[in-house]
Amino acid sequence: MTVDEAWLKAFPLRPVADAVDALCESWQMLAAVHRPGFNHAKREPELTRALKAHVEQVTGRARGLPGMWATECVHNDIDLETASLSNERRTDIVYGWNNETLGVQLVLEFKKIDRSARSRNAYLGNDGLQRFVTGRYSQGQAVAAMVGILVEARDQVVPLLQQTLTEPERIRTLRVRRLGNGKHFELPSRLFAAAEFDTEHDRDAELALSRNAIRIAHIFLEFSYPIALSAKRARRARPRRVPT
């Protein structure tokens, strides 16, 4: 058994995987039709707040999930002498679970993504995946999740993202590990059935567990209605300006 297989077997994946499944079920229910409070034109924080409320009050409750959900949690570093705060950061959604011997906080960072280089840079950059590598997101945690909110077809977005992720400069800046399969990502995901693929990243000792790494599941969520048609319909529905 390899080191990777050993820690994956020891990690409490089942409770966390159940939570991820519930979250994805909530997404499917909310994204089935264009809703005033939940649609492709909404900003990421609006979508994640609605999604957290739904999984907490509907799908998570129906499944009898233990643990807790939180959204837009504020994290700061504190100077112990002055009590001054710095390095403020907010996590999109966090699922927390613990038993008598172990506690897990799964941070899920959401980013809208299409085929453009700009959106791939946002997904992989300092406000996206990089936060789990050199930033303090998921400090002391073994796993986390990046969630891409697809606003274009999956087959036009995900392969381009994988290609960008494995460019030499990205491998260097994101400290991407080569996995047991000899590649820099593992497909399908070893973490969650709902995820497309996993990556592993070296991490400084003060941010990581004993493996000095974090494993990231990459999940991609879609809107079930035709986005282009919905956008046209929304434009037609806007009230016309009356000349003054």
Residue 142 pLDDT level (bands cut at 50, 70, 90):
confident
Comparison of pLDDT for 240 and 111, the residue scoring more: 111
Rounded to whole angstroms, the Cα distance separating 144 from 110 reads 12
The pTM assigned to this predicted structure is: 0.85
Residue 28's pLDDT is 97
Q: What is the pLDDT of residues 63-98, one digit of tens each?
A: 999 888 988 655 556 556 664 655 655 678 999 887
Comparison of pLDDT for 242 and 13, the residue scoring more: 13
Long-range residue pairs from 204-211, CB within 8 A, at least 24 positions apart, any chain: 204/134, 206/139, 207/136, 207/139, 207/140, 208/140, 209/140, 209/141, 209/142, 211/3, 211/7, 211/142
Residue 242's pLDDT is 46
